[in-house]
């Protein structure tokens, strides 16, 4: 059994309900829902998405939980509301609501990979637009293949599994704002806590959002405000000058 957590902030303006609809349909097609626990965190979405989340709950009331937030508290804080309910040995998977999967049983494969490689803190699935690859000319983005894993320090958080041993040591997701850098910080914190990070490249995911909307531009600008702060914090964490544990408060 795994814990799956997904945040939603879909509004009439950002028109992200279209991605959520495809994402949830893909989740049902590729995951044995009754075998896992699913947490859907609603960061004040529009009625269309709220209705989708309710339909998902009604289809699997024993396995699906909806966490409603009075305002958009952000991705990290939303996911943390699910992580606080995790079992100690439960692999937790954070999912963005704008992807689809092509392969059935991907949750079980991620869980098996974590259990088989206990030194892996963060295990991600790879989007086609991720820069990291084994033959990258820049060493900062160059990865190493080890069996089924592609070892990489920085894992994009589109669909990431967290080793329960990692969460025991580092706590909860950390984020300077409502958007961006929770994955960068978790990768650095995992590394500082003595773990390695990796992709599971055999399982492909498709990113639905072309990132051309006004909302996408807002996210880029919002993330840009904190890039220097996050870079400095990552350096401090990795060097041992800042604590990698975060209590979620």
pLDDT of residue 140: 86
Is the pLDDT assigned to residue 103 strictly greater than 90? yes
The neighbouring-strand residues paired with 149 are 146
Which range among 80-84, 145-149, 190-194, 213-217 shows the weakest confidence by mean pLDDT? 213-217
The interaxial angle of helices 182-192 and 227-238, nearest 10 deg, is 10
How far apart, in whole angstroms, are the C-alpha atoms of residue 208 and residue 98? 5
Q: Is the separation of the CB atoms in 68 and 82 below 8 Å?
A: no
Distance between CA atoms of residues 194 and 169, nearest Å:
10
Tell me, what DSSP letter sits at residue 133?
A: B
Query: Inter-axis angle of helices 75-83 and 182-192, to 10 degrees?
Result: 50
Tell me the C-alpha distance between 176 and 85, whole Å. 23
Three-state SS sequence of 137-206: CCHHHECEEECCEEECCCCCCCEEEECHHHHHHHECCCCCCCCCCHHHHHHHHHHHCCCEEEEEEEEEEE
pLDDT tens readout for residues 38-64: 999 999 999 999 999 999 999 999 999
Spatial contact of 157 and 94, defined as CB atoms under 8 Å apart = yes
Tokens of 174: 């950390």
Distance CA 94, CA 96 (A): 7
193: tokens are 């806590």
Q: Is the pLDDT of residue 170 over 90?
A: yes
DSSP assignment of 32-53: -GGGSEEEEEESS--HHHHHHH
Give 179's pLDDT tier (boundaries 50, 70, 90).
confident
Whole-prediction pTM = 0.96
Domain 2-238 classification at class level: alpha beta
């Amino acid at each position: 059994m795994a814990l799956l957590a997904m945040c939603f902030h879909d509004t009439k303006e950002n028109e992200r309900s279209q991605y959520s609809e495809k994402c949830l349909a893909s989740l049902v097609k590729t995951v044995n829902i009754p075998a896992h626990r699913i947490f859907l965190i609603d960061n004040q979405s529009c009625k269309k998405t709220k209705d989708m989340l309710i339909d998902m709950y009604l289809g699997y009331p024993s396995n699906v939980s909806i966490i409603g937030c009075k305002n958009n508290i952000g991705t990290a804080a939303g996911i943390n509301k699910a992580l606080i309910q995790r079992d100690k040995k439960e692999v937790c998977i954070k999912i963005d609501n704008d992807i689809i999967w092509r392969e059935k049983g991907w949750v079980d494969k991620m869980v098996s990979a974590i259990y088989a490689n206990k030194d892996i803190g963060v295990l991600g699935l790879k989007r086609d637009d991720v820069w990291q690859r084994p033959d990258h000319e820049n060493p900062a983005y160059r990865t190493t293949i080890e069996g089924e894993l592609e070892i990489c320090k920085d894992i994009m958080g589109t669909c990431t599994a967290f080793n329960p041993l990692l969460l025991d040591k580092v706590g909860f997701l950390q984020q300077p704002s409502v958007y961006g850098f929770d994955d960068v910080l978790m990768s650095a914190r995992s590394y500082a806590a003595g773990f390695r990070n990796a992709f599971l490249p055999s399982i492909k995911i498709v990113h639905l959002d072309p990132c051309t909307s006004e909302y996408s531009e807002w996210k880029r600008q919002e993330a840009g405000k904190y890039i220097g702060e996050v870079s400095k914090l990552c350096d401090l964490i990795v060097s041992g000058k800042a604590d990698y544990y975060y209590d979620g408060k």
